[in-house]
């Protein structure tokens, strides 16, 4: 579980790294599922460097072992972190 201290570190980071995990079983055959309503984001990971140390945290949205309440909390936390006007870099 992400802590308030970690959330604040990500929000204050000069450079925030972001990667998303997706599930799209028919991607190769039919293309991106976002256009078919088939693919979805499973979770997001944030990373940043603080005091010469790399901090990372994964927030799950749709894994079967993620409770619905936790998934909603994680979405709200991700939106909060992403809303800050700092430099971001993504990976896929």
pLDDT digits (tens, 9 = 90+) for 42-78: 899 999 998 899 999 999 998 878 887 899 999 999 9
- Of residues 1 and 83, more confidence is placed in 83
- pLDDT for the residue 65: 82
In a domain, 48, yes or no: yes
| Assigned domain for 91 exists | no
In a domain, 40, yes or no: yes
Q: What is the DSSP letter of 20?
A: E
Structure tokens at 78: 């991700």
Distance in angstroms (rounded) separating the CA atoms of residues 9 and 11: 5
Confidence of residue 32 (pLDDT cuts 50, 70, 90): confident
Is there a domain that residue 44 lies in? yes
Domain presence at residue 92 = no
Rg (alpha carbons) of the chain, rounded to whole number? 14
Q: Produce one character per residue of 33-72: b if its CB has 16 or more CB atoms within 10 Å, e if not.
A: beeeeebeeebbebbbeeeeeeeebebbbeeeebeeeebe
**Would 47 be classed as within a structural domain?**
yes
| Parent domain of 65 | 4-86
Domain count for the chain: 1
């Amino acid at each position: 579980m992400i802590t308030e201290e970690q959330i604040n570190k990500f929000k204050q980071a000069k450079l925030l790294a972001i990667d998303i995990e997706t599930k799209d079983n028919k991607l190769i055959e039919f293309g991106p599922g976002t256009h078919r309503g088939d693919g979805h984001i499973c979770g997001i990971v944030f990373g940043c460097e603080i005091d010469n140390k790399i901090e990372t945290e994964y927030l799950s949205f749709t894994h079967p072992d993620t409770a619905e309440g936790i998934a909603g909390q994680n979405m709200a936390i991700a939106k909060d972190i992403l809303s800050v006007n700092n430099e971001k870099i993504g990976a896929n």
